Chain A
Amino acid sequence: MNAAPTAARSGLLACEVCRLVSRAPPQGSDAHCPRCGAKLHARKPASLARTWAFLIAAMILYIPANVLPIMDTSSLFGSQRDTILSGVMFLWSSGSFVLAMLIFFASIMVPLAKMIALAILAGSVQMHSARHRRARTRLYRAIEFVGRWSMLDIYVVTILVALVQVSTFASIHAGPGAAAFGAVVVLTMFAATSFDPRLIWDTQGEAS
């Protein structure tokens, strides 16, 4: 397993766009895919540093995203400022259990799980872990797939603001939390694309 024939160990580079495998040029020169012209890298450049940078920025913004209101509702009966969590609790107490669960998962659990998972992936690569490689690769695939669904709340706010803005009975405005939350989603997506799953398999050691 140590001598698994990888492209990198065979002096080959795989194009990440068109997947063509070509011979790596001599050290120091820039490689371009002979078929599609894309820049070739054995591994994504500065993968871990970029992943951590985006991830830490996302973690910091996760706080205002949850503490600041994402929506201000004002009506004849007063005004109400909703954070993501208070919106979920309102839905739950008004009997919309499915909706409450959906938003709780998409807006609170998914970003949190994604950040924890990326930290585990980047951290384990840094510690040269050789354990659970297959499971970690699967984890990476899962977060790439599921991350986009966090945008749900942003779209809900968009529709609500547009529809209820000018009517007489109430008006809804987007709060500062919405921008922070959108930034969290974008930053975690950048963090996930910066991470190179091939690093998981690069460490020497017994297979698991």
Chain B
Amino acid sequence: MPSPTFVACLECDLLHRHTPLPHGGEARCTRCGARLYRCAPPDANERALAFALTACVLFVIANVYPIVGLEVQGMHNSATLIGAVESLWDDGARMVAALVFVTTILVPAVELIGLTWVLVALRQGARGRGAVPILHFIESVKPWGMVEVFLLGVLVSLVKLAHIATVEPGVALFSFGALMAFIAAAASAFDPDAAWTQLDATP
């Protein structure tokens, strides 16, 4: 029955005995080199919560303020992310607009809110309360959050536009940069093993 004595590599299925690691240590598969598990510091999920909350605030700022402004012959034009998705939608490129919306707004939002919810619940010692399905859901949507790729895309378009007009980086551009860093920090600080163990102990 459920016991953490064994761990299987998810990339080659080799079975390993679960041995304790020093703090910050990491166990890798002896056959294919994939990461098996790591030993996170005891306050890992506290730190993950701090990062996730910061990311939530940055997410709001990044979506409310314009990302870039453009000035040509005295005409000023600026775009927020949701505004950009809207103009793509109105332009008839609905599939593309939906794809951009999902990967840059919906998935990051769901991921952040879900992670924060789970971490708060764990902290309060709550008995599951939807934490298990939420963790499942976060894991399955994770590959579709592409804030870092979006950020590079904005920078590329800034350089492209700089040839023909005056571009002004907006508040949201910097917020997106910070958001990317804090999402990464929250994800790497988060200790899923501790979370699953605790959720398992609270039936």
Contacts and interface: CB of A to CB of B under 8 A. Distances in A.
Given A158-B100, A163-B70, A103 B33 contact: no
A197 interface: yes
B43 interface: no
**How many residues of B sit at the interface, in one of the four size bands?**
35 or more
Contacts of A64: none
Contacts, number: 204
A166 B77 contact: yes
B181 interface: no
Contacts of B15: 5-7, 10, 12, 21
Interface residues on A, range: 35 or more
Given A36-B135, A158-B85, A160-B161, A134 B32 contact: yes
A154 B91 contact: no
B84 A141 contact: no
B42 interface: no
Contacts of A167: 70, 72, 75, 77
Nearest 10 pairs of A and B residues by beta carbon: A155-B153, A162-B84, A14-B8, A174-B93, A7-B8, A162-B79, A159-B157, A6-B13, A201-B12, A18-B196
Interface of B: 1-2, 4, 6-8, 10-15, 31-34, 37, 67-68, 70, 72-73, 75, 77-79, 83-85, 87-88, 91-93, 95-97, 99-100, 103-104, 132, 135-136, 139, 143-144, 146, 149-150, 152-154, 156-157, 159-161, 163-164, 192-193, 196, 199-200
